[in-house]
């Protein structure tokens, strides 16, 4: 990660009121029935579709490319929350923007310059966001808070679904919520979120909740409804 430029965007420095959102992670869906399951999730109240892109280098697994994301764009109308777990996102940002991404999130740990990535995302007319892995401190996103629309915190090591929530993530989320302050910047958590961990996570100020394994296991509508109930509590 290179040293970031200090860029202030006055229009973002205003008080925010963020509704809590569910960004359902498609990696845990049954891919033989993917379109059907995504439609079920949308009908049940999922707010966003979280699309994990893995390159087999930044993380060990490989998922899908822009062509597949473009095909999915026709399946549901909810916004696409595209998380690039790739070493060189600059080479792919434009293609994922054209494929239908509404938000594109890049890792501050990737090999490309973070500011350059955010510049390109904005140029493509997509909302820019940054993400940090479990080993990365909250302070790593401080240079970008005045130009991103969301900060994503990994509650597990990126690259695999179904992992257990790392307890230290809770303090990191609370710290980031304090750092964000009145900026209209969403605070997203991805990894290990289930019915047991969600209540604790919600105390931190996190407002965008990614979950896959928990929500796609069993009755999708009932699971999403249970998440919404926990939001209200």
- Asked if residue 112 belongs to a known ligand binding site, the reply is no
- Asked if residue 58 belongs to a known ligand binding site, the reply is no
- Asked if residue 161 belongs to a known ligand binding site, the reply is yes
- Asked if residue 74 belongs to a known ligand binding site, the reply is no
- Asked if residue 23 belongs to a known ligand binding site, the reply is no
Task: Return the bridge partners of 25, or none.
Answer: 50
* Other beta carbons less than 10 A from residue 74's beta carbon: 9
- Annotated active-site residue 67? The verdict is no
- Annotated active-site residue 113? The verdict is no
Q: Which of 55, 81, 190, 207 is catalytic?
A: 190
- Asked if residue 37 belongs to a known ligand binding site, the reply is no
- In 3D space, the residue among 115, 106, 118 whose CA is nearest the CA of residue 55 turns out to be 106
- Asked if residue 96 belongs to a known ligand binding site, the reply is no
- Asked if residue 80 belongs to a known ligand binding site, the reply is no
Q: 70, 64 in Cβ contact below 8 A?
A: no
3-state secondary structure of 36: helix
d(CA 80, CA 100): 7
Q: Which of 47, 52, 55, 112 is catalytic?
A: 52
d(CA 38, CA 233): 26
Binding residues for substrate are 25, 83, 159-162, 190-192, 212-213
Q: Which residues are catalytic?
A: 52, 190
User: Residues within the annotated binding site?
Assistant: 25, 50, 52, 83, 159-162, 190-192, 212-213
Binding-site positions for a divalent metal cation read 50, 52, 83, 190
């Amino acid at each position: 990660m290179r040293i970031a430029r200090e860029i202030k965007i006055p229009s973002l420095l205003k008080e925010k009121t963020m509704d809590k959102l569910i960004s359902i992670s498609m990696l845990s869906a049954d891919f033989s029935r993917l379109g059907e399951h995504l439609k079920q999730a949308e009908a049940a109240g999922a707010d966003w579709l979280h699309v994990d892109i893995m390159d087999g280098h930044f993380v060990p697994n490989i998922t899908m490319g822009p062509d597949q994301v473009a095909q999915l764009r026709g399946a549901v109308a909810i916004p696409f929350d595209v998380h690039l777990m790739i070493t060189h996102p600059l080479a792919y940002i434009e293609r994922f923007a054209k494929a239908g991404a509404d938000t594109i999130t890049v890792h501050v740990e990737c090999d490309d310059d973070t500011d350059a990535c955010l510049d390109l995302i904005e140029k493509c007319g997509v909302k820019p966001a940054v993400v940090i892995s479990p080993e990365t401190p909250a302070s790593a996103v401080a240079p970008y808070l005045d130009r991103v629309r969301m900060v994503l915190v990994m509650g597990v090591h990126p690259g695999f679904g179904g992992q257990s929530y790392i307890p230290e993530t809770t303090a990191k989320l609370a710290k980031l919520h304090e750092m964000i302050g009145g900026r209209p910047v969403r605070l997203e958590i991805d990894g290990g979120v289930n019915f047991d961990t969600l209540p604790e996570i919600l105390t931190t100020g996190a407002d965008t909740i990614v979950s896959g394994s928990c929500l796609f296991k069993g009755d999708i509508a009932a699971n999403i409804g249970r998440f919404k109930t926990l939001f209200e509590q």
